[in-house]
A = this chain, B = another copy of it.
Amino acid sequence: MAEHRGVRKRPFILLGVACAVVGLVLGIIIGFFAIPKSGTPWSAALTREGDPSVPARLQRELKPDNIRENLRTLTARPHIAGKEMDLGVARLIRDRWREYGFDSARLVPYDVLLAYPSRDPNRLSRVSLLEADGTVVVESQQQEAGISDPEAEPPFNAYSASGDVRGDLVYVNFARAEDFQTLVRDVNVDPAGKICIARYGKIFRGDKAKLAAQFGCAGLVLYSDPEQCVAEGWPVWPDGWMMPSTGVQRGTVQLPNGDILTPFYPANEYAYRLDEQDTNLPTIPVHPISYGVAVDILRNMAGPEAPVEWQGGLDITYHLGPGYTGPASSRKVRLVVNQDREVRTTYNVIGTIRGAVEPDRYVIVGNHHDAWVYGSVDPSSGTAVMLELGRALGKLKAEGWRPRRTIVFGSWGAEEQGLIGSVEFVEDYIRNLQERTVAYLNCDAAASGNFTLSMSASPLLQSLIREAAKKVPDPHEPSKSLYDTWRLKRPEEEGNPDTRPKINKLGSGSDYAPFFQHAGIAASSMSTSIDPAFGFGYPLYHSAYETFDLQDRFIDPDWTVHQSVGRLWGEMAVTLADALVLPLDVRDYAETLQKMTDELRDEHGSRLAAQNIGLDHLESAIANFTRATTTFHQSLGTVDKLNPLAVRAVNDRLMKLEGAFIDPLGLPDRPWYRHVAFAPSSVNSYAGQSFPGLADALFDIDNVNPADQAARWELVRRQLAVTTFTVQSAANTLVNNLF
């Protein structure tokens, strides 16, 4: 029985066990894999990489035709800051973002000091060449030929002093420090008390105005010399994209960034406003003219012949002056400037697509929307692209995508007058922005040419830019990547296409400055520009000829250049917003700092040594920084990506590294600039300067008068200590167990 029972029970037991085991295994599998733990509903989302299909879908979604239509709309009317279309364009952008499905879109206005040329017929600004009896020989025009729109402001240099001066003319080349020094030291032509005429180019016009005032000029006339705006054999507008004889470059001559009345703080309703007298706006009249007028004013000048490098592209022999020679010797130049300054409202627009996982982390894309006239290059080509990028992201969002981090769109007002909208915004929200911003990606003029990319960026973003460019097809040769054509056309090492593509240092000159130089947020700025072989920027810059047709007929007839900028911009933004670990490469920072230190040693090492000033501590700090970045970068490979706090901790350090270069005391004599590693050059706000505190202290130090020399060397010592400390501090922020 027992046996029998045994025999008969065994299959039951075996079957039961087998079924139980199968059930158990199945159950464990189901229990483990199929049922999310209610305690950790977020686990997967928190540690997931972004959807890898998104970047490619975004690229496909960006349509040349839409960008074209955007630009047509944006350039329909002049849209200078503070006038009707500042608000008009701002509203258009806000409404579009709402339509695209952004989570928010709103106007953020500031009340700032703006300047306009007087339109009173008795107070028109102008430059005239006069006979001794006052007869006008030639006079500058109130508008470019072919431009009749009453909304188009006449050419002017915003924030020039108003005044009516007449006197002898002196030609000062580019009005750089070295140009004035040549005049005074070498050829003994004193510009003091004279009306000086300078050609545009090489440095920021605000620096020209400052230097002219420093050297005592009574007034400054700026003009676009053909050498800087017409290449031989190339047709001028409207037959081509070179500057015609009637075109004039407008532009601000305000040097500090932001609203001049409210430095460091936002220009809001309760702001404390300086008296205009207590600001350092230009003290002399400054006014721009065309080369068609300039040639008549420069002809027959007296004085020594200008040095050969000072000879421009006009069909005359340039003389230095002062005044005229021969039958013209009694002629004088008269410069009249009348500008009205008033506090007016400019409008920023801020839109967001909120992050799903880390809504408190921002990737900001920005562009300004104000233009001197139609702005088909500057800035509306960028605005047209940004609108299309917003539309495409909105479409992805409608299809179910949401970025890990928040993407913020910023459309700035009054950039042309001095980065005013973006500066006031950054000053207003600086605490939030410094805490939350991963990076700021600027695009001012998206397409000022169709040659290849022109990029400036913090070292932190360079690797991201390169990787993104590899994923975007070239607009002219779609079989190649943007990266490949870019590094061929603009290699890091001139003439060597085997190097990486060139990425410039950030100076000032567009809206990245407040983010990068003041707030310490990693930033980049992108454009597609003309062939650097031309030796100048795009010729119609800031003229009324920046029209829709300029883009549609000459720069980007099939609109793929614009598209490629949008693709690169979108690729960068989405990568930054979606990557689990931020794609910021700290090693590039170390490499850049090392290169900067090498350059410093090469240029000033023996001069410093003669003063018993060594670079050892700086070099040791750079070595520590390099070591810290190497260790940190290695640690990224082993960070537990399934631990959201571990990932957040390394991302926090990546995000905050740029800010570690901010010295709250700012640079000597220009405390608003606070980045110790990079600033605009003090002698040219457009250009980026390495270790600016040191560079300024060392600038032309051998020629400083002996009484001031000791103080300058003390400043060098102090700035060397500050620079060393800041680099070491930045290294420390990457260290885990500092104590």
Contacts and interface: CB of A to CB of B under 8 A. Distances in A.
Interface string A657-679: 00110001100000100100000
A41 B642 CA distance: 8
A699 interface: no
Contacts of A428: 729
A715 to B, nearest CB: 10
A575 to B, nearest CB: 20
A598 to B, nearest CB: 19
A717 B28 contact: no
Nearest to A270: B617
A408 interface: yes
B16 A269 contact: no
A80 to B, nearest CB: 25
Interface residues of A, number: 91
A108 to B, nearest CB: 8
A737 interface: yes
A-side interface mostly: helix
A92 interface: no
Nearest to A716: B272
Interface string A698-718: 000000000000000000011
A350 B27 contact: no
Contacts of A735: 432
B360 A721 contact: no
Contacts of A660: 431
A272 B431 contact: no
Interface string A313-335: 00000000000000000000000
A88 interface: no
A150 B717 CA distance: 41
Contacts of A270: 617, 721, 724-725
Contacts of A271: 721, 725
Most buried by B among A17, A360, A733: A360
A717 B729 CA distance: 36
Interface string A616-660: 010000000000000000000000101111101100100010011
Contacts of A61: none
A136 interface: no
A532 interface: no
A23 interface: yes
Contact of A429 (B429, B721, B738): B738
